[in-house]
Structure 1
């Protein structure tokens, strides 16, 4: 079989942006929409008031309309009796011949006349004609993003519809492995989510989108549906088929129908992105991985739509201190999703995992850092520009936690929202998390602690001390040996083992148990074979590449495997002692001790909450 051609040269990110901007001018298409459809759209022409509002003088108070000259000299001791007046209500037209209104509270009416003890000035309590807007005055300029309160004003001014910029986008998902949303994918398959995300993202900018059905990895099928989309839309996106695999045909299809302008850009994520011109319309080949697709949509397609006159999403650029080092490859413009919070008197940001398929790094983030292609990254503690996707004021209620991420931590975070806080837990090694905490770049470190009986590992806490930090217990989970046949500790010498990386709770606990049992790792087959997660342990056992490994009881039960207890994994938050009286810490401890937290963790299964909310020294000796 002939190998698929790979792209050998990459277009720089800046050159790709330049090519995009120079090749595709705005199509200049407009449409008229009703006010009900106008919010979020962008005006294509200036909008002027067809008449004044109000068109005549109106009363702004309940009272009487008077001639101000008739009230001259009125005082408490010398009231003035009026014969010419007329009762008016708020919003009522001022009768001809009157130029002021006196509030009804300041009027005494008797026998057809009234007395006033305060003089009135011309225009008092009157809304003059054109006070809000005059006929012919500009209401909205061209290029304005229509907001909900704009619509209310436009309706008031008698403007029933708007001429807005119009861009139509065709979204085509490609891949034999794709299934539609709502269908659980089989192993090797994936849910087609990119066009759903793109549809809502572009609609938020004021574009009109059409999502096409999933298209097979066949050049003929891709060509047919792309040709149809080119005919019906201003812009087309092909999702998938843009990489260099044996069944990636997007470049071939674009080249056969038009011109391929570039394939492969020096950016991460999204390196395989391609851009073509078919019938003078842009066609993007977008990588299938969600994070890569999102980056291409945000950094390329959204920029094009903004140049074409659509509404950009609000981005708030700030400078913040980087909590941990970020490495980057020279020659690649890299976009790293981060969580941000105000820690003390400065803003700190923590990077999320950067895998192309890790959708949750986008969900959990508050913004991103753009690392220039000429940089090899940023160091911890360095001040860097951050582009926030949330208003900066929200940073004050964010809690930045780094370390172990677990369901019990997520449950705590869910309940913390009822106290007005948002917990962001960024996954990193426990030792690194404690160093970050010591450097005052996060609010807390989430640490998983192995326990066997009364023994608790304490060497993990070397970066911190008992005088300035405390440990708050979140929950505990049982750890043990999972297997098909009920393997116990004494069987390890004769079975194939699958291990976890050094520094993880499971590995620390296993090493300690072997040491205390007099078993050397060298006599346990496969002891140095490692997988990153306990799901990897289960997979290795199920596919027969290993006989046993350490995981939580709940995980083994879900997978219908036998399980033998070894010890516990204790989840803790390490926080500065000075934070104990902070409202966020008080809320955390209160939630951990609550019946609601215990009930929610109980429904999850596999946890003990007997010590939840307990505050202890960071260096444990006994439990």
Structure 2
């Protein structure tokens, strides 16, 4: 039976329900000092002894009575009788009387009667005596007992995170164990018939992403993760795993099985085991979230999509773990301007992952597509913005607050534009030399040119075909009014028809797309591939004396758009389409046939002032290198360097 969500609650309502139903207890345990790094200490710690516990010599030299050295000069030294020697760690058995001295090592305990140390550099040994050429004041070159730490002094305050500094201080006073807050144990369960945990990937199966991601996030927030495994879509199996988690853990997390689809059972199971507080939160991503209390312990049913699961974890679970572990975490936030308009769903608060790029200020590039399902999108993001329930969209250029996932580290090289696997090969070769960091943001060729204009990108990858001239990229630089930039010729990519092995529909050209027995998969508007297609279809329309719309209306699938060359190939591979337009490399990757149409010029636009950056110079050197040419030929069929690769065209 399909269950419709209960009335959605806001994030604040969900947190309040959890707070009212849960009594937070911080457990305390005692651990050895050597294993306490990173733990949160659960009590104030006071010094049981003085440090140092005795007066000790700060220098190698002679322990003396300071008054015996008064008047000593280089040409008129004072002679003292040496009555003993003390090394570090020795218990002094000798006493210094008037006119006497004791040879002493750095760190050694001062003998009775002495109150200063003459540095060995200002002395000279002679027949069992020592000549002192410089006077010392009382206390000179002596570290007094308790001068570092005094007995009873507060050393470490409760709720402090123990680092090497605090641990060193505690070790100094002889403390060997400390009381710390116990790490809350969090049981992690994944659910779904489609999941496997490693091994060969069968068709229709996917690897379990969420368990590894959530276990890492639990540890990162101060908890101890216990992975219980994958439960199939079987009510008894899921129930048994949750019950096992409730016996051994302080918090239980499940992922998957929370929406309204057939076979989703988490809500029903938790309703039987305890009390469901929340079923559905007005948030995007993560609406189908379940929060329950069972055995006086919180249980969270997270969505199955990785980004959705992570965001709900960050909103509800991470603060709870930190609170139970005594861990505090300061949110890192910054202000940025949005790179493009973003539409949101009214009535749901949206947490949108973004990339951050620094130009004149910070710019936030939204992660596009179905980011709730795509783990790679989350991995690439620097943080997220929060869009209120009352906003239907956020305007391009509007200032937003970005909550960072971690400390923002500016990349050495920023490439924004249309993505190509050739760039990945190029960057890989660059890393063989001096280490550097890079950030590649894929927003399409037009987005890359806009980023160059704003000064956010060092390099933009572009492949825009001008339908009027048949020329790539240069006309668009002029059209965008970009100045102070150069166009660096990149490499060629073979564009053509991607068809099933053996070309069963005998596709030969663009006219075949209009046949009744042919289904087509198109590319998204604004892509270079789509421009190439429409350019050829326009020629067909002119030849037939009809409008372009009449021609496109005859193509079965013209309105079905894929956002990447890979998506086109997969559609053909799965039989969803007979043909699509794309690049040779993806056709060969999926074992499909390829019918060439023309070579596409993939180039790079660079601001002139960035040419002096070392990493940009290395990029260009690698682009022009023989090694890059050979790697393209070996690894990426249909992508090749040519005679113009590396050629520079200036735009003033």
* 1:598-623 CA distance string (max 9 Å, x none): 5554553233234554432469xxxx
Asked if 1:249 corresponds to 2:265, the answer is: yes
Is the 2:490–2:645 contact (alpha carbons within 8 Å) kept by the matching residues of 1? yes
When residues 341 and 61 of structure 1 are mapped into structure 2, their CA distance, relative to the original with a 3 A threshold, is farther
Is the 2:6–2:279 contact (alpha carbons within 8 Å) kept by the matching residues of 1? no
Asked if 1:531 corresponds to 2:554, the answer is: no
Of 251-260 and 590-599, deviating more is: 590-599
Shift of 1:272: 1.1
Q: Considering only aligned residues, what root-mean-square deviation do their CA atoms show, in Å?
A: 2.9
* 1:120-176 CA distance string (max 9 Å, x none): 223323332233323332232222222244334433432222222121211111111
Shift of 1:255: 0.8
Is the 1:143–1:309 contact (alpha carbons within 8 Å) kept by the matching residues of 2? no
Residue in structure 1 matched with residue 195 of structure 2 by the alignment: 178
Of 303-312 and 165-174, deviating more is: 303-312
Aligned partner (choices 209, 223, 232) of residue 239 of structure 2:
223
Residue in structure 2 matched with residue 52 of structure 1 by the alignment: 50
Give SS of 1:277's match: strand
Is the 1:408–1:474 contact (alpha carbons within 8 Å) kept by the matching residues of 2? no
Shift of 1:293: 0.8
Shift of 1:459: 4.6
When residues 549 and 56 of structure 1 are mapped into structure 2, their CA distance, relative to the original with a 3 A threshold, is same
When residues 512 and 78 of structure 1 are mapped into structure 2, their CA distance, relative to the original with a 3 A threshold, is farther
Shift of 1:415: 5.7
Q: In 1, distance between residues paired with 2:634 and 2:176?
A: 53
Asked if 1:407 corresponds to 2:439, the answer is: no
Aligned partner (choices 495, 516, 531) of residue 479 of structure 1:
495
Shift of 1:367: 2.0
Q: In 2, distance between residues paired with 1:262 and 1:241?
A: 15
Aligned partner (choices 196, 203, 227) of residue 212 of structure 2:
196
Residue in structure 2 matched with residue 571 of structure 1 by the alignment: 602
Is the 1:478–1:568 contact (alpha carbons within 8 Å) kept by the matching residues of 2? yes
Is the 2:463–2:472 contact (alpha carbons within 8 Å) kept by the matching residues of 1? no
Residue in structure 2 matched with residue 582 of structure 1 by the alignment: 613
Q: In 2, distance between residues paired with 1:411 and 1:511?
A: 30
Is the 1:41–1:205 contact (alpha carbons within 8 Å) kept by the matching residues of 2? no
Give the alignment of 1:142-157 within 5 angstroms. 142-157=158-173
Shift of 1:300: 0.6
Shift of 1:245: 1.0
Residue in structure 2 matched with residue 447 of structure 1 by the alignment: 462
Q: In 2, distance between residues paired with 1:599 and 1:74?
A: 80
Is the 2:45–2:156 contact (alpha carbons within 8 Å) kept by the matching residues of 1? yes
Is the 2:510–2:537 contact (alpha carbons within 8 Å) kept by the matching residues of 1? no
Q: In 2, distance between residues paired with 1:22 and 1:73?
A: 78
Asked if 1:382 corresponds to 2:388, the answer is: no
Asked if 1:510 corresponds to 2:533, the answer is: yes
User: Structure 2: which 5+ residue stretches go unaligned?
Assistant: 82-99
Shift of 1:313: 4.7
* TM-score, length basis structure 2: 0.86
Residue in structure 1 matched with residue 590 of structure 2 by the alignment: 559
Residue in structure 2 matched with residue 16 of structure 1 by the alignment: 14
Residue in structure 1 matched with residue 623 of structure 2 by the alignment: 592
Of structures 1 and 2, the larger Rg is shown by: 2
When residues 207 and 528 of structure 1 are mapped into structure 2, their CA distance, relative to the original with a 3 A threshold, is closer
Residue in structure 1 matched with residue 581 of structure 2 by the alignment: 550
Is the 1:451–1:569 contact (alpha carbons within 8 Å) kept by the matching residues of 2? no
Residue in structure 2 matched with residue 107 of structure 1 by the alignment: 123
* TM-score, length basis structure 1: 0.90
Is the 2:62–2:120 contact (alpha carbons within 8 Å) kept by the matching residues of 1? yes
Shift of 1:275: 0.6
When residues 614 and 47 of structure 1 are mapped into structure 2, their CA distance, relative to the original with a 3 A threshold, is farther
Is the 2:26–2:326 contact (alpha carbons within 8 Å) kept by the matching residues of 1? no
Shift of 1:427: 2.2
Give SS of 2:603's match: strand
Is the 1:538–1:556 contact (alpha carbons within 8 Å) kept by the matching residues of 2? yes
Give SS of 1:11's match: coil
Aligned partner (choices 439, 452, 455) of residue 437 of structure 1:
452
Q: In 1, distance between residues paired with 2:287 and 2:430?
A: 38
Is the 1:492–1:524 contact (alpha carbons within 8 Å) kept by the matching residues of 2? no
Q: In 1, distance between residues paired with 2:275 and 2:74?
A: 87
Of 450-459 and 301-310, deviating more is: 450-459
Q: In 2, distance between residues paired with 1:459 and 1:8?
A: 55
Q: In 2, distance between residues paired with 1:465 and 1:245?
A: 51
Shift of 1:592: 2.7
Asked if 1:351 corresponds to 2:382, the answer is: no
* 1:211-255 CA distance string (max 9 Å, x none): 112112122222222122212221111111111111111111111
Asked if 1:489 corresponds to 2:505, the answer is: no
When residues 526 and 266 of structure 1 are mapped into structure 2, their CA distance, relative to the original with a 3 A threshold, is closer
* 1:380-408 CA distance string (max 9 Å, x none): 2222222223335x23x454433212223
Q: In 1, distance between residues paired with 2:77 and 2:630?
A: 73
Is the 1:449–1:569 contact (alpha carbons within 8 Å) kept by the matching residues of 2? no
User: Structure 1: which 5+ residue stretches go unaligned?
Assistant: none
Of 288-297 and 554-563, deviating more is: 554-563
Q: In 2, distance between residues paired with 1:378 and 1:80?
A: 85
Is the 2:359–2:454 contact (alpha carbons within 8 Å) kept by the matching residues of 1? no
Of 215-224 and 96-105, deviating more is: 96-105
Is the 2:74–2:134 contact (alpha carbons within 8 Å) kept by the matching residues of 1? yes
Q: In 2, distance between residues paired with 1:92 and 1:596?
A: 64
Q: In 2, distance between residues paired with 1:30 and 1:248?
A: 38
Asked if 1:339 corresponds to 2:345, the answer is: no
Q: In 1, distance between residues paired with 2:71 and 2:621?
A: 67
Aligned residue pairs: how many? 613
Shift of 1:579: 2.1
When residues 531 and 318 of structure 1 are mapped into structure 2, their CA distance, relative to the original with a 3 A threshold, is closer
Residue in structure 2 matched with residue 424 of structure 1 by the alignment: 439
Is the 2:413–2:616 contact (alpha carbons within 8 Å) kept by the matching residues of 1? no
Aligned partner (choices 313, 316, 320) of residue 297 of structure 1:
313
Q: In 2, distance between residues paired with 1:139 and 1:188?
A: 58
Is the 1:574–1:618 contact (alpha carbons within 8 Å) kept by the matching residues of 2? no
* 1:449-471 CA distance string (max 9 Å, x none): 45999843545435534632222
